[in-house]
Amino acid sequence: MEKILKLVRPNILNLTPYSTARDEYKGPLGIFLDANENPYPDADGGGFNRYPDPAQREVKALLAGIKGVAADRIFVGNGSDEAIDLAFRVFCEPRTDNAIAIAPSYGMYRVAAAINDVEVREIQLGADFSLDTAAIRAATDPHTKLLFLCSPNNPSGNLFPRAQIAALLQTFPGMVVLDEAYIDFSPEGSSFLGEIDRYPNLVVLQTLSKAWGMAGLRLGLAFGAREVIDIFSRVKYPYNVSAAVQGIVAARLAASEKVEAQIAEIISERARVMAALEASDAIAKVYPSDANFVLVRTTGNPREMYEKLIAQGIIVRDRSRIPGCEGTLRITIGTPAENDKLLETI
């Protein structure tokens, strides 16, 4: 752990975090005159006149049960985008340190790096979106603090081989942030969540925005070593997840059967959509997917197909201008009826 703490920026390691009224008094309910709140509860009983729990204890307790991870290994934020930003703020000295990311991949790694004035060294994936672990290692230097891996990767949809990720965890000199936003659509046993004990340099990101159907609520998760999660929690805004969101998320996490059925349907629809796309003359290639979307290379001009789909009220993502994704569109798996309409139109 000493090695990990050495990666943390000294100002962050020495930070005295803001202490909220709720941090200072955790006892039973009483007359709260400690946070300058309006004392009158709202008419709808929401309790929103009070600040939310800064430690999100109820949500974390439920997540701990669902994920099989101790609550103090879980960071909860305003989408996983908050955790991505925090990784830079915690580990990377602006204009000095650097991070490594794969390309093509999720665009926020690059944006968060730019906001934090941190250099990102992008390592291009192979033509089949395979991972070049040697190139990643070769790109490191003594100022390399972070590696962002996304598996299944967005926009390509593929999981990277477990052995390759494990090898990087063993040899990478900094923190490995493994973004598993789409892991619920992957075969069982694909996640590295069970490995956070073995690798103190591993931070696993997950989100409630995809399989869990709560993108509008904004709740992202980071899992890792207790010490790393503790530092993330000290750096975050004290009340980073609203009381409304904590309440709705807790209720939905407690009733997860519907989500499991939806995931199963999306996975079976993915197979159906992929098979139909493969059979279509308009599609030159369907890339393998372990996520809830599929990347396809069109036979003709992808922009033309994109516009034609829009004319029919179907909006997909044009990824054709991203290096490595030339000629491609990314299509999210919808409901069976939505997928029917897509396939008919294509």
Q: Residues interacting with ligand PLP, by CB under 6 A?
A: 79-81, 106, 150, 154, 179, 181, 207, 209, 215, 220
Q: Which is nearer to ligand PLP, 22 or 63 (CB)?
A: 63
**Ramachandran quadrant class, 25 (left: phi over 0; alpha: psi -120 to 50; beta: rest):** beta
Q: Which is nearer to ligand PLP, 79 or 174 (CB)?
A: 79
- What is the sign of the dihedral through the CA atoms of 189, 190, 196 and 199? positive
106, 158 in Cβ contact below 8 A? no
Which of 291, 301, 296, 303 shows the shortest CA–CA distance to 280? 296
Q: How far is the CB of 143 from ligand PLP (least distance, A)?
A: 25
Q: How far is the CB of 25 from ligand PLP (least distance, A)?
A: 31
Q: Which is nearer to ligand PLP, 220 or 224 (CB)?
A: 220
Q: How far is the CB of 228 from ligand PLP (least distance, A)?
A: 18
DSSP-based three-state secondary structure for 294: strand
Alpha-carbon torsion, ordered 331, 332, 337, 340, to 10 deg: 20
Q: How far is the CB of 76 from ligand PLP (least distance, A)?
A: 11
Q: Which is nearer to ligand PLP, 150 or 168 (CB)?
A: 150
Query: How many distinct helices (H) and strands (E) make up the chain?
Result: 13, 11
Q: Which is nearer to ligand PLP, 180 or 269 (CB)?
A: 180
- What is the sign of the dihedral through the CA atoms of 333, 336, 341 and 346? positive
B/e letters for 254-286, b = 16+ CB within 10 Å, e = fewer, are eeeeebeebbeebbebbeebbebbeeeeebeeb
Nearest residue to ligand PLP, scored by beta-carbon proximity: 79
Q: Which is nearer to ligand PLP, 9 or 147 (CB)?
A: 147
Q: How far is the CB of 219 from ligand PLP (least distance, A)?
A: 7
Which of 65, 120, 59 shows the shortest CA–CA distance to 88? 120
Q: How far is the CB of 221 from ligand PLP (least distance, A)?
A: 8
Q: Which is nearer to ligand PLP, 15 or 263 (CB)?
A: 263
Q: How far is the CB of 279 from ligand PLP (least distance, A)?
A: 28
Q: Write the CB contacts of 91 (distance below 8 Å, at least 6 apart in sequence).
A: 7, 8, 9, 97, 145, 146, 174, 175
